Amino acid sequence: MTMGIDIQMSKDGILRTEFSGDLDSSIVEQFRRQFTPFIEASTPESPLKSIVTFDQLGKISFRTRRYMTELNQDSRYGAVAYVQPPRKARILAQFIQKGSHRNNIQFFDSEQDAINWIHQFNERLVF
């Protein structure tokens, strides 16, 4: 059931990522290649903002969980909003937050609610 990922930076400065199918080792490498430039362009003072959606989420490999936890430990990775996440994605987010000791992932029913939270989250980061 391997399908893939789609990553696009939108005009509002929020990175949109859609995961679909199995999140296995090949997806981790594809995600790393596509995602790294966005992290490298971010700073702890101006972290990356992200909205994540899921389509027919399948298996989630250990390697995927580990990479996403390591990624979330990076202070350049800011607010992450999961929009209408399936149960597996909620469990993944809880695993990531626990493993990274951060509380930067929230769940939303609508993209507009997610956008509002992201803006509020980043306002709290102003130094």
- What residue spans define the domains of the chain? 2-121
Q: Which CATH architecture has domain 2-121?
A: 2-Layer Sandwich (3.30)
Query: Sorting pLDDT into bands at 50, 70 and 90, what band is 125?
Result: low
- Amino acid 24: pLDDT: 86
Mean pLDDT of the chain: 90
Between 2 and 70, whose confidence is greater? 70
- Amino acid 23: pLDDT: 87
Using one digit for the tens of pLDDT, what is the confidence trace for 4-49? 889 999 999 999 999 988 888 888 888 899 999 999 999 999 999 9
User: Hey, what are 65's tokens?
Assistant: 């969980």
Which one, of 54, 50, 5, lies nearest residue 28 by Cα? Answer: 5
- Amino acid 56: pLDDT: 87
Q: Taking the model in full, what pTM does it have?
A: 0.89
**Whole-number Å distance between alpha carbons of 53 and 30:** 17
